[in-house]
Amino acid sequence: DAKTTQPNSMESNEEEPVHLPCNHSTISGTDYIHWYRQLPSQGPEYVIHGLTSNVNNRMASLAIAEDRKSSTLILHRATLRDAAVYYCILSSNFGNEKLTFGTGTRLTIIP
């Protein structure tokens, strides 16, 4: 499985943008990039995914480097409810494959 590398923790002020980085230098051409987040004492929830192009949805944006060896999850205006552990995960394009969750980035929002 291709590996991802994320900082252990980050802090951001409330109502400011947050950029969460992820390195995946061994990504293959068919790997999707997924982001999930886990709020305290809950199961993870899907945030966003992408393959080659940048993606936007109601929760966040995903910026993917041109060489696909890194990506950045962007929360445009962080709120206290965004405090969570964020996981960057790669999966092949073959469908119901297992996902490998690392330790993720613990995001703290400062009021």
Partner 1 sequence: DGGITQSPKYLFRKEGQNVTLSCEQNLNHDAMYWYRQDPGQGLRLIYYSQIVNDFQKGDIAEGYSVSREKKESFPLTVTSAQKNPTAFYLCASSINHNGGKGSYNEQFFGPGTRLTVL
Residues in contact with partner 1 by CB under 8 A are: 30, 32, 34, 36, 41-46, 49, 51, 87, 91-104
Which CB sits closer to partner 1, 41 or 67? 41
Smallest gap from Cβ 15 to partner 1, in A, equals: 28
C-beta of 24 vs 34, nearer to partner 1: 34
Q: Minimum CB separation from partner 1 for residue 76, in Å?
A: 22
Q: How far is the CB of 109 from partner 1 (least distance, A)?
A: 19
60 three-state secondary structure: coil
Between 95 and 111, CB nearer to partner 1: 95
End-to-end Cα separation, the chain, in angstroms: 38
Contact 40, 57 (CB under 8 A): no
- If the CB atoms of residues 70 and 91 are measured against partner 1, the closer one turns out to be 91
The strands making up 61-64's β-sheet, listed across from edge to edge, are 18-23, 70-75, 61-64, 55-56
Q: Do 72 and 58 touch, CB atoms closer than 8 A?
A: no
Nearest-approach distance from CB 30 to partner 1, in angstroms: 6
Is residue 45 within 8 Å of residue 38, measured between CB atoms? Answer: yes
